[in-house]
Amino acid sequence: MPAKKKSAKMRRCPTCGALVRSGEEDFPFCSDRCRKIDLGKWATGVYKISSPVLDPEVLEDLGGLTGGHDKGSNDE
């Protein structure tokens, strides 16, 4: 039985939607231009990774945004 050839996976360019093979130089983008457009969106803040800040030290540095109560505060 002959070995089956694996075909390259086809994906869509996230910028323009053109079909791109997984082995191409600019994958997952169709071109360097689309790659740079995507990079520009990250750089200007169009794209961002958002997650809650859970580190207590970081929360203190942000001005005590820990639910409205400061540590050690006895206000009632």
HEC letters along 18-53: CEEECCCCCCCCCCHHHHHHHHHHHHCCCCCCCCCC
Model pLDDT, residue 64: 55
Amino acid at 51: S
Model pLDDT, residue 72: 52
Segment (H or E) for 57:
helix 56-61
Amino acid at 29: F
Q: What CATH code is assigned to 8-64?
A: 3.30.50.10
Model pLDDT, residue 9: 86
Model pLDDT, residue 6: 59
The per-residue pLDDT string of the chain (76 residues; one tens digit each, 9 = 90 and over) reads 555 555 678 999 999 999 999 999 999 999 999 999 999 999 999 988 877 767 788 777 777 554 555 555 555 4
Enumerate residues 6+ apart whose C-beta is below 8 A from 34: 13, 14, 15, 16, 18, 26
